[in-house]
Structure 1
Amino acid sequence: MAFRFLHTADWQIGKPFANIAGDSGAELRSQRIKTVESIAQVAIGRAVDAVLVAGDAFDSNEVSDRTIMRTIEALASYNGSWIFLPGNHDAALAHSVWTRMQAMDLPSNIIIADKPEPISLWNDRAIVLPAPLRRRRESLDQTEWFDGASSPDGAARIGLAHGSVANRLPGSADSSNEIPEDRARRADLSYLALGDWHGALNIAPRTWYSGAPEPDRHKANDSGSIFVVDIESHRAPERVEALNVGRYCWVRIDAELVDGTCNGALQALAQLSGEHRSCVVSLNLTGAVSLAERRRLEAELRKWEARLHHLEIDDTGLIDEPTPDDLDALDNSGFVRLAVERLRAKASDASDPDSGTARMALRMMYLDHFAKSA
């Protein structure tokens, strides 16, 4: 009695991307709907019996009605069952995105799993056991009821939950809405479909995070995919195939400039894989460069800002170290030279609380000099 479904989670539709201004942020927001359309096409192409969304389909309960309607429209091409679990971002509150969605004359194939009760699919070939969150942080394990839930003989038992698997995720992970690591075994599940951890991960036996289908953070956690899951029978091993559907890649680059030049940063950017226009890059610069190299770096980074979808630069750890040639380029004699020498002395004294200001002043003088001579 085989059952095939898509496992996905953490769509975060309506995410504002407040730190990415203008068209770049708007395109990231609109892409989330387009990715849902892609998921619907995969569901059709792979002939799945249902799509299970393990929480956080929406970024918050405050998303606009227009966003909700666009999401419903994005689902329309696949007429199989869509099962949505309320997560911590879109919890099943008394007034929520889900109550508003239900008031929009939903198609019958869209099922909001906002109650902890079994959902039968395809003439009892599969039973979905949902653990909806009714607040952002639940103090009690919402999956406990799975253990005693009955199901027809031979039916695949599929748990659907959103939270952190105890003792398994990294210490930096959010530990709210905790799920026991052996819940799949205790509840005799064929598969436990999870959301909340935005990366794809087989976290425990029969227990999987699908990850976010559209990445939204600079974190190397294998996001950008959905799962096609085949369950041949209740206790048969699950078969999981990851399919990449994400449009944008989020990359963090840490570049330490150690030879006085900016070559390390430029080489790291040149090694970016994929289409540059779809890269959202966070560039963290440390080390030291001459003023001439700082000028070259800034000119090259302006070019990269135009190539990439978005470039965020943190150069607070990058120190200017003026060379004699840098200072000679400013002035060889007189008052300007004296001022430059004093700023250089102050800038090189790490104990001077004004050393950072002095370095900035030298850089501004250098850039202004070349701007006037251009």
Structure 2
Amino acid sequence: MKILHTSDWQIGRIFRFADDDTLGALQAERLEVIRRLGLLARQENVTHVLVAGDVYEHETPTERTLHQPMERMRQFPDVRWHLIPGNHDADTPDGVWARLLREGAVPENVTVHRQPGPVVLDESENAWLLPAVLQRRHVLADLTAYMDDAPTPPDALRIGLAHGSVTGFGNGEEAEHNPVAIDRAKKAGLTYLALGDWHGFCQIDARTAYSGTPETDRFTTGGGGGGEALIVTLSGPRAEPQITRHRTGKYVWKKLDDVTLTKADDIHALEARVRGIAPDNPGSVLVWLAVSGLLSVDDLALYESAIVRRLSGAVACLRLSGAPHLSAGLDDLERFGTGGAVRLAAEGLLARAQAGGEEGAIAADALQRLFLFWNEVGGQAA
């Protein structure tokens, strides 16, 4: 038997760093990935998709956001979708699940598990689902503990579904809320424990794994940022499950926090590095650059042109923290001529910048802007 394990869709999530166009594209893709999950299930001949919590970002989404994931799942009537509440969309009296069921908006092929206890998943395979259900955002008790004594028929496939933090697995204070025992699968005799809450794939042991979010939603310096779903093959109640990772995300999020620029070659190398993240589709890349360094007037103009303008137009989103600073001296002021108001202003700004302090930093920034503007207009400003 195969199942598809996914979690942390967080429909309606807001990305505050993004402009309106980028935000709209990111939110749309979090919905579009549901279609890719359905197609993956069909491709792998999977009937049951287990969604381990946080379908929604908020407990009170707008009416349209409330219905959007349901309508995407409705498009796959041959797939059974099994949902549990997460910490973002806990099953509160007036929360998303109560609203959906009150409105009769849950499709026939979608099951929202609102009570703990064994549920027949697939009678022909003797497969039983044991869901853990969050009714508040944070609880201190381990809601998977009941699985230890939950009765199922002999030789059943016992599949746990939960949303929380595995204790003692390097997640520090997060494990204080919604804890999951690290050995729950062993203690409860589970064939597989499908977890949600961590946004990147993480396999705890042979029978326990986090799927991560199917569409990446955070900048990382390495891997582990999500964009995957898991196909889990269950060969028997005591056989170790076979876990296969499948790429489902469109966007690649990357953080480069080691960018120091001192010359033109550094700028060209940075541009090539970013374009190389997804050379066939740079529009699928969101990149966060932490930039520092000192550049000459000409190299600073190159940085503005190649990185701030061209590269930001090539990728889906370019997020910058920090910036290279201008390295300028008296010789550079010759660009403004030998006299005139602009030359006098530049001399004054350079003197203040070289004096240092808070005013010096402001003056340096102003002088940098003046050089860039002068380059843009070709020295023809009045």
Give the Cα separation in 2 of the matches to 1:348 and 1:153: 81
Aligned length: 370
1:327 to 2:328 alignment:
no
Deviation at 1:175, TM superposition (A): 4.8
Corresponding residue for 1:256?
A: 259
Letter in 2 for 1:312: R
Question: Residue 46 of structure 1 is aligned with which of 44, 47, 55?
Answer: 44
Residue 138 of structure 1 deviates from its aligned partner by 0.9
Partners of 1:218 and 1:204 in 2: how far apart? 26
CA distances 1:310-367 after superposition (whole Å, capped 9, x unpaired)? 1111125x322214553322344577556534533442455x2322102111112212
Taking structure 1 as the reference length, what is the TM-score of the superposition?
0.92
**Structure-1 residue corresponding to 2:212:** 211
Q: Does the 8 Å CA contact 1:127/1:156 hold for their aligned counterparts?
A: yes
What is aligned with 2:139? 138
Aligned pair partner of 2:231 in 228, 231, 235:
228
> TM-score if structure 2 supplies the norm length?
0.90
Between 1:266-275 and 1:39-48, the stretch displaced more is 266-275
- Structure 2: gaps of 5 or more residues: none
| Deviation per residue, 1:92-134 (Å, 9 max, x gap) | 1011111122134333331111211211111162111111111
Q: Which amino acid aligns with 1:307?
A: A
CA contact (8 A) 2:206 2:240 kept: no
Q: Structure 1 residues 157 and 349 mapped into 2: Cα distance closer, same or farther (>3 Å)? A: farther
1:88 and 2:94 correspond: no
Q: Which has the higher helix share?
A: 2
User: Which range is displaced more, 68-77 or 150-159?
Assistant: 68-77
Tell me, yes or no, if the aligned pair for 1:11 and 1:213 is still in contact at 8 Å.
Answer: yes
User: Alignment partner for residue 357 of structure 1, among 362, 368, 372?
Assistant: 362
Partner of 2:57: 59
SS at match of 2:322: strand
Percent identical residues: 32
Shift of 1:192: 0.8
Contact kept in structure 1, 2:275 and 2:282, CA below 8 Å: no
CA distance in 2 between counterparts of 1:349 and 1:149 reads 74
Cα 1:80–1:292 shift into 2, 3 Å: same
> Partners in 2 of 1:344 and 1:11 — Cα distance?
52
> Deviation per CA, 1:19-69, whole angstroms, max 9, x where unpaired?
312222111111111110111111122111311000001111222222232
Give how far 1:177 is off: 1.3
Structure 2 CA distance for aligned equivalents of residues 172 and 294 of structure 1? 43
Q: Distance in 1 between matches of 2:158 and 2:301?
A: 62
State the shift of 1:137 in Å. Answer: 1.0
Alpha-carbon distance in 1 for matches of 2:122, 2:24: 39
Question: CA contact under 8 A between 1:257 and 1:264: conserved in structure 2?
Answer: no
* Partner residue of 2:316 out of 309, 314, 324: 309
